A and B are shown apart, each in its own frame.
Chain A
Amino acid sequence: MLFLLQDGITNGAIYALLGLALVLVFAVTRVILIPQGEFVTYGALTYATLASGQVPGTARLAVAMGILALGLDLYAGRRSLRPALIGRALATNILLPAAILVLTSSLADRQTPVAIDIALSLLIVGTIGLFLYRIAFAPIAHTSVLVLLIAAVGSHLALQGIGLVFFGAEGQRGPALSNATFTIDPLRFTGQSIAVYAVTLALIAVLWLFFGFTLYGKALRATAVNRLGARLVGIRTGLSGQIAFLLAAVIGAISGILIVPITTLYYDTGFLIGLKGFVAAIIGGLVSYPLTAVAALLVGGVEAFSSFYASNFKEVIVFALIIPVLLLRSLAKPAVEEEKD
């Protein structure tokens, strides 16, 4: 019994991280981040590829996306092409991913410590997240939630297909962060599961501090509440979107790195994991961080128990979980607002 609960909490912690990232991105950009799962896969498989001493394709993808983003930046600023603007665009879009690629290539075939592999993976996936926003979402940031959602689905399809090209159809596992194990009767804890808990708690704390006490965090919240108002007081809302995507990508990659030593990940596993983060985020109403975290633990628990008692219907049960939640929400608050676009 208890070990199921333990299993559920470990998975739930991951879903909580993803759920938080989804809430974050939705609140700031109104994008329902379907490609979140790809960030998980990319993070995990980039890490696993680096650990096996190869250069992951994602580093090259970041460069390619950077070039596209540069084009968009230059096109968007074509009326006033000042050297500063060109310089900044070149630095973020070309130099940054290129530097990461060079760094990755030079470090890949050496025996590097785990920490460097992790740092590189986060850098790579983070830049991909940054550029994804610039390319796919920034040009349509003003449109309706629906249009953004469809664009999210499109990016998910593209990224998943690219994932298959880079990582192949076979699953991979990565090295564990820690091989320690210890037993507190009757449960056996692995260092990895402790790392999962610790990182989740730490990230939640960091997010809380970021949003509560930093200027950028507050700017993001302001953008979330009122986009136009935020612009009028001088917040660069496009930048807020990029920060949100950067954070979401890094959080996704961390989740991936945390679970890839525990379970084998395939190029398309991320989608399902991300969707379970979604179930949690929806239960949290896409607005509440604490509620989302609690809901994620619930999802993890339900999944663990149902995979033990009715393994065939594990996914059905997890996704069916959403129905009573939606029902409660719809009874509690009938929709009154009108669509604006």
Chain B
Amino acid sequence: MAQRWPVLLFAALMAAIPFIPGMPPFWIVLLDNIGLSALVAMGLVLLTGVGGLTSFGQAAFCGFGAYATAVLTTTYGLSPWLTLPLSLLVSGIFAVALGLVTVRLSGHYLPLGTIAWGLGLFYLFSKLEFLGRNDGISGIPPLAIGSLKMIDPGAIYFAIWTAVILCAWLTMNLLDSRTGRAIRALRRGHVAAEAFGVHPPRTKLLVFIYAAVLAGLSGWLYAHFQRAVNPTPFGAQAGIEYLFVAVVGGAGYVWGGVLGAAIVVVLKEVLQDYLPYVFHGEGQLETIVFGMMLVLLLQLAPGGVWPWLTARLPTRPNRKAIETSSALPVRKKAAPIDDVVLQVDHASKRFGGLIAVNDVTFDVGTREIVALIGPNGAGKSTTFNLITGILPASSGAISVLGERLHRMTPQAITKLGISRTFQHVKLVADMTVLENVAIGAHLRGKAGALASLLRLDRTDEAKLLTEAARQIERVGLSAQADTLAGNLSLGQQRIVEIARALCADPMLLLLDEPAAGLRQLEKQQLATLLRALRDGGMSVLLVEHDMGFVMGLADRIVVLDFGAKIAEGTPEKIRTNPEVIRAYLGAVT
């Protein structure tokens, strides 16, 4: 997704603007403001648009950055360049503290929480003695390189836009990486991502801190641009405006943040200039228009301007070339002896008075396909959730190769070699098939966020993508590797889920209704694939309703009814078992 030349072109364009003869200085000031706003919006793009965490409190983080440098340069006489890391650190530390409290909150609590602490911090800024109360702090020294002091807007312009372009580049790097996939899976599909080792709370905190540091950088620049700070630009109103900027531009896109900043800053300027002429009124007319436009925009184009614009450009994203020379180490497959991979021993699960799984015992051997069948409500999916660690068993034991899975997290169980698909397909619709499948290999990669930011993750990343491509080829979807997962048919999406599960390099594959929604031909292909996997050393446990599919494929069948096991055996035996027939067809008297 990161294409170099448009960024370079944009950078060159921005660098050239101040040298255009006759450029009004006022425009440069506007561009400075756009840049400052874009930095914050970019953080919000990652936080809100991509990560799905809404924050109305970003202005407060600008405040931390700005006040940090203001106090350190005026009271302690530090050089502005020295306060840069300190400002970012202050924003980051506060982000950790606030993030630990807030990011675990779901849905609407988070935005409400951010409004609350955004307001609280605004009052704190305006009441604290050492921050100058409502008057703020003035006389902040300008940025300087040697004897060149960046006093006028034209000089600090370069500092601001260097920061914007650098941060845009870093942000795009981050999104296009192992960590980036984890971030993009946060909004939709974090349950699946979690099953493959993504740690959502940690990832959320990471994005939160990243956005805060970007806001802190904007605050630091602002302080040295205005050379004075006061609480007003860091209040709740500003926090709301930053979110507006991100939404206008297109909250899911890095450049949407920059575009949104340009639109909003220019619009505000125009409104402030012309509205009084139109209405002759007193008061904050621009606020009224601003609010109305926000409502209108959400009704007309909730996705923002950037995607609307790019959809009208002729270019299509080019296929990512994958370096195929390196491969991930593969788990040693168990020897083809009659060994038990999964042992479920008298497992029960009670939900209050309801016994969903009642004293169920069965096992899955190496190179064996076991099917778990039963009427609706028989406890099949609950059994799956017990095995994968999503639910803890009320009693009984589940073990893999002799190791008990007691109180293990889903991630730890995935590491042991169990990976799964979901009954309701859980893919990230706006990521490509390749990227979705690569999430499956999350635990097999090592590169962290810092490495991704600086593009030091490329060998690791190439290995992951190679593995993903290999598994996609294995399930026969190579032609669709670059399609967005949301654009595939349901049957194909199920196959993508299998590829993703394979990417975790499992020895036991848990498939939850893999054949549902598949056409006859696709079912045959799936059966062939599963047989090939079994012959390659894989064990498979599947829940399925399609009896034709199960009977033709499974080596052994376990039948559940009302939470209890009523039969177990080869397909032939199950077909004639009177208990099973009664469970499915009702009592035959």
The answer to whether A and B come from one shared complex is: yes
Q: Measuring CB to CB, which residues of chain A are less than 8 angstroms from any residue of chain B?
A: 26, 32, 135-136, 139-140, 143, 145-147, 149-151, 153-162, 164-165, 168-169, 275, 278-279, 282, 286, 312-313, 315-316, 318-320, 322-323, 326-327, 329-330, 334-339
Residues on A with beta carbons closer than 8 Å to the beta carbon of B153:
none
Q: Is the CB of B52 within 8 A of A319?
A: no
CB-CB nearest in chain A for B292: A158
Q: Is the CB of B101 within 8 A of A151?
A: no
Q: Is the CB of B116 within 8 A of A275?
A: yes
CB-CB nearest in chain B for A34: B115
Q: A157-B240, A165-B288 are in contact. List 10 more A-B contacts (CB 8 A).
A: A154-B294, A158-B288, A161-B283, A323-B117, A335-B104, A335-B107, A336-B106, A338-B190, A339-B107, A339-B188
B577 close to chain A: CB less than 8 A: no
B295 CB contact (under 8 Å) in A136, A286, A312: A136
- Give, as a whole number of angstroms, the nearest-CB distance from B44 to chain A: 12
B376 close to chain A: CB less than 8 A: no
CA distance A252 to B381 in the complex (A): 47
A326 CB contact (under 8 Å) in B113, B188, B191, B302: B113
Residues on B with beta carbons closer than 8 Å to the beta carbon of A153:
56, 240, 243-244, 291, 294
List 5 interface pairs A-B (beta carbons < 8 Å), by A numbering.
A143-B298, A158-B289, A161-B291, A316-B120, A336-B191
B285 close to chain A: CB less than 8 A: yes
Residues on A with beta carbons closer than 8 Å to the beta carbon of B292:
154, 158
CB-CB nearest in chain B for A279: B116
B158 close to chain A: CB less than 8 A: no
CA distance A335 to B292 in the complex (A): 33
A315 CB contact (under 8 Å) in B111, B112, B115, B120: B120
B353 close to chain A: CB less than 8 A: no
CA distance A162 to B105 in the complex (A): 34
Residues on A with beta carbons closer than 8 Å to the beta carbon of B281:
165
Q: Is the CB of B107 within 8 A of A337?
A: yes
Which chain B residues in 475-515 approach chain A with CB under 8 Å? none
Given A32-B108, A319-B116, A338-B191, are A154 and B295 also a contact pair (CB < 8 Å)?
Answer: yes
Residues on B with beta carbons closer than 8 Å to the beta carbon of A151:
294-295, 298
CA distance A26 to B244 in the complex (A): 22
Q: Is the CB of B108 within 8 A of A339?
A: no
CA distance A123 to B111 in the complex (A): 32
CA distance A312 to B123 in the complex (A): 9
Q: Is the CB of B112 within 8 A of A32?
A: yes
Given A286-B108, A319-B117, A335-B106, are A313 and B123 also a contact pair (CB < 8 Å)?
Answer: yes
Q: Is the CB of B104 within 8 A of A330?
A: yes
- Give, as a whole number of angstroms, the nearest-CB distance from B125 to chain A: 10
Residues on A with beta carbons closer than 8 Å to the beta carbon of B362:
none
B189 close to chain A: CB less than 8 A: yes
Residues on A with beta carbons closer than 8 Å to the beta carbon of B295:
135-136, 151, 154-155, 158
Which chain B residues in 267-292 approach chain A with CB under 8 Å? 281-292
Q: Is the CB of A150 within 8 A of B294?
A: yes
CB-CB nearest in chain A for B192: A338
Q: Is the CB of B54 within 8 A of A278?
A: no
Given A275-B119, A323-B101, are A161 and B299 also a contact pair (CB < 8 Å)?
Answer: no
Q: Is the CB of B119 within 8 A of A160?
A: no
CA distance A149 to B299 in the complex (A): 13
B117 CB contact (under 8 Å) in A140, A161, A322: A322
CA distance A276 to B188 in the complex (A): 32
CA distance A279 to B116 in the complex (A): 8
Given A153-B294, A282-B116, A337-B107, are A327 and B283 also a contact pair (CB < 8 Å)?
Answer: no
Given A160-B287, A326-B101, are A312 and B247 also a contact pair (CB < 8 Å)?
Answer: no
- Give, as a whole number of angstroms, the nearest-CB distance from A312 to chain B: 5
Residues on B with beta carbons closer than 8 Å to the beta carbon of A275:
115-116, 119
Residues on B with beta carbons closer than 8 Å to the beta carbon of A160:
284, 287, 291
Q: Is the CB of B188 within 8 A of A338?
A: yes
Q: Is the CB of A143 within 8 A of B108?
A: no
Residues on B with beta carbons closer than 8 Å to the beta carbon of A168:
282
Interface string of B93-133 (1 = CB under 8 A from A): 00000000110111111011101110110011001000000
Residues on A with beta carbons closer than 8 Å to the beta carbon of B545:
none
CA distance A147 to B295 in the complex (A): 9
B124 CB contact (under 8 Å) in A282, A316, A326: A316
Q: Is the CB of A164 within 8 A of B284?
A: yes
- Give, as a whole number of angstroms, the nearest-CB distance from B426 to chain A: 8
CA distance A159 to B291 in the complex (A): 8
- Give, as a whole number of angstroms, the nearest-CB distance from A37 to chain B: 12
CB-CB nearest in chain B for A138: B299
B187 close to chain A: CB less than 8 A: yes
CB-CB nearest in chain A for B48: A146
A335 CB contact (under 8 Å) in B105, B240, B298: B105
Which chain B residues in 226-272 approach chain A with CB under 8 Å? 240, 243-244, 247
Residues on B with beta carbons closer than 8 Å to the beta carbon of A161:
283-288, 290-291
Q: Is the CB of A149 within 8 A of B108?
A: yes
CA distance A286 to B56 in the complex (A): 19
CB-CB nearest in chain B for A32: B108
B112 CB contact (under 8 Å) in A156, A165, A282, A330: A282
CB-CB nearest in chain B for A153: B240
Residues on B with beta carbons closer than 8 Å to the beta carbon of A334:
104, 201
Q: Is the CB of B107 within 8 A of A145?
A: yes
Residues on A with beta carbons closer than 8 Å to the beta carbon of B302:
140, 143, 147
Task: Pick the 7 closest A-B CB pairs, nearest first.
Answer: A158-B291, A157-B291, A154-B294, A335-B106, A319-B120, A161-B288, A161-B287
CA distance A201 to B287 in the complex (A): 36
Q: Is the CB of B105 within 8 A of A329?
A: yes
B287 CB contact (under 8 Å) in A136, A158, A286: A158
B109 CB contact (under 8 Å) in A158, A169, A279, A282: A282
Q: Is the CB of A154 within 8 A of B298?
A: yes
CA distance A168 to B283 in the complex (A): 8
CA distance A194 to B117 in the complex (A): 33
CA distance A154 to B48 in the complex (A): 17
Residues on A with beta carbons closer than 8 Å to the beta carbon of B286:
161
Given A154-B294, A330-B105, are A32 and B127 also a contact pair (CB < 8 Å)?
Answer: no
